[in-house]
Structure 1
Amino acid sequence: MKQRIITGVIAGSAFLGMLVAGGYYYAALILIMAIIGYYEYIRMFGLQNFRITSIIGLLLLLWLAVPWEMDAFAFGIHLNLDAVLWMAMFILLTITVTTKNRFVIDQAAAVFLGAVYIGFGFHYMISTRLLETGGLFYTFLLFICIWCTDAGAYFVGSKFGKTPLWPTISPKKSIEGAVGGIIISVIAALCFAWFNPELLSYGKAVGIGIIIGIIGQLGDLIQSAYKRVKGIKDTGTILPGHGGVLDRVDSWLIVFPFIHWIGILVQ
């Protein structure tokens, strides 16, 4: 527990410092986390020995993670997302042919899915911070609601949890804890609305709190599901007492894209 607390304080302070600094500092940290997370994913699926395909997946991930559409990253590059996704898929499938199925379709699918899953998730962590209006505010809003959901689900579940939420995936989670997490997320979002009602109305705060409370816990269950299939507890060891990067960002990877795609942050 002591090691977990020390790691949490040091890593959390460094992360929050970069988040406040914003710009290329925060973007660089997020991209480094994306690369580490991708390596954990590749190793978890036993794909680290397929170097060419792993590199292709990494390049796809980085292309997806960098918000080329934002002014800070434009560099004269015009993103054609459909072409990038199709070309990566085509190359991976071609390699299954050229290797005579030493690299098979299942592995190609795993590389492609990992790059998209991790790449898009980290992309929206960067682009949220780079919003022209309220970038820091909204980024803190999403992170705080995610963390409050986790804390609320844990403490309410520990105290009142009796009904299993999804025992075959995560036996310790309860329906009572899940509801508690959603409620705490809504309370946190309402605090943000009280702090700056010009950027966030109370009605929108309730909606965001509920969505993050539900989707954040689903993101946690998604990672629990594939870790259970692989028979592992943690995706890595880079954060002593906390596991790997993917262990810490399971909810982030789902919440940030989802919130953007439903358009709820649009003023």
Structure 2
Amino acid sequence: MKQRIVTGVLAAAFFIALALAGSWYYSVLLVLMAIIGYTEYAKMNGFAWNHPASLLGYAGVLMFVLPWSLMGAEAPSALTVMWILAFLLLALTVVTKNKTTIDGASLLLLGALYVGYGFGAMNTIRQTEEGLFWTFVLFGCIVTSDAGAYFAGKAFGRHKLWPSISPNKTIEGAIGGVILSIAVAASFALAAPGTLSVTKAVLIGLVCAVAGQMGDLIQSAYKRVRNIKDSGKLLPGHGGILDRCDSWIIVFPLVLLLGLLPV
């Protein structure tokens, strides 16, 4: 537990510092995290980082996560990236005479979207005019939802939420996480009424809590299928990038896609 706390505090301090700095500092961090996360994903599915299919996946991830606005260029559309990547991966199944199967190609295509678009959304939001504010709103909701779910579950948990996927999570804990997330989002609205209304804050808090908890369950479900405890070993006591960021890479894209931010 001590190792987990120390690692968490140091990693959080480093991440917050670069988020505050913004620009290339934050963007480069997100690119590195996306690359490491995709490496974990590929390994979970039996692909070495230097496998031709993995290399195509890395290219797709980069197309999603690179800070195009900082480079003075227009980002390619997600559909364009996905179609080209799908074509190249499917072509690889032909070139390799099915040594790379369509199943493997499909998994890596999904991974590029899951990891790349997730971290790319974080980059997109931070680069907006009020990007720092929105970044901290979303992270505030995600972190407090996790904390609320943990402590409410410990105090009041009686009914299992999804025992076959995550045995320790409870319905009471999930509700506690939602309530705390909404409260935190509302506090941001009260602090900056000209930027965020209370009504929208409540909706953002709800989406962050529900989507964040689902992101956690998605990663738990995947690790059970692969029969592994953690996606990686980068963060002692926490596992890998995907273990730590499973909620982030679901919440940020969803909030963007729902049009809840002025992006």
TM-score range, shorter chain: over 0.9
Separation (CA, whole Å) in 1 of partners of 2:50 and 2:11: 31
Structure 1 position 198 matched with structure 2 position 194? yes
Superimposed CA distance per residue, residues 107-153 of structure 1 (whole angstroms, 9 cap, x where no aligned partner): 00011100011000001111111111x21011000001000001100
> Which residue of 2 is the match for residue 232 of structure 1?
228
Decide which moves more: 90-99 or 241-250.
90-99
Say which SS state the counterpart of residue 73 (structure 1) adopts.
coil
Shift of 1:171: 1.0
Unaligned runs of 5+ in 1: none
Task: Look up the equivalent residue of 2:157 and give its one-letter code.
Answer: G
Say which SS state the counterpart of residue 205 (structure 1) adopts.
helix
Superimposed CA distance per residue, residues 63-120 of structure 1 (whole angstroms, 9 cap, x where no aligned partner): 011243x3x2334x56254333222111111111222211111100011100011000
> Which residue of 2 is the match for residue 111 of structure 1?
108
Structure 1 position 219 matched with structure 2 position 215? yes
> Which residue of 2 is the match for residue 265 of structure 1?
261
> Which residue of 2 is the match for residue 79 of structure 1?
76
Separation (CA, whole Å) in 2 of partners of 1:263 and 1:164: 33
Say which SS state the counterpart of residue 112 (structure 1) adopts.
helix
Separation (CA, whole Å) in 2 of partners of 1:115 and 1:193: 34
Say which SS state the counterpart of residue 228 (structure 2) adopts.
coil
Q: 1:49 to 1:25 in 2, by over 3 A?
A: closer
Say which SS state the counterpart of residue 246 (structure 2) adopts.
helix
> Which residue of 2 is the match for residue 93 of structure 1?
90
Q: What is the Cα-based RMSD across aligned positions, in Å?
A: 1.4
> Which residue of 2 is the match for residue 38 of structure 1?
38
Separation (CA, whole Å) in 2 of partners of 1:21 and 1:199: 21
Separation (CA, whole Å) in 2 of partners of 1:3 and 1:177: 25
Say which SS state the counterpart of residue 139 (structure 1) adopts.
helix
Task: Look up the equivalent residue of 1:171 and give its one-letter code.
Answer: P
Q: How many residues align?
A: 263
Say which SS state the counterpart of residue 162 (structure 1) adopts.
coil
> Which residue of 1 is the match for residue 155 of structure 2?
159
> Which residue of 1 is the match for residue 127 of structure 2?
130
Say which SS state the counterpart of residue 223 (structure 1) adopts.
helix
Separation (CA, whole Å) in 2 of partners of 1:49 and 1:102: 16
Q: 1:181 to 1:101 in 2, by over 3 A?
A: same
> Which residue of 2 is the match for residue 177 of structure 1?
173
Task: Look up the equivalent residue of 2:132 and give its one-letter code.
Answer: L
> Which residue of 2 is the match for residue 247 of structure 1?
243
Separation (CA, whole Å) in 1 of partners of 2:75 and 2:108: 25
Task: Look up the equivalent residue of 1:191 and give its one-letter code.
Answer: S
Q: 1:138 to 1:10 in 2, by over 3 A?
A: same
Provide TM-score, normalisation by structure 2.
Answer: 0.96
Task: Look up the equivalent residue of 2:71 and give its one-letter code.
Answer: F
> Which residue of 1 is the match for residue 28 of structure 2?
28
Identity in percent: 50
Separation (CA, whole Å) in 1 of partners of 2:198 and 2:94: 55
Q: 1:53 to 1:8 in 2, by over 3 A?
A: same
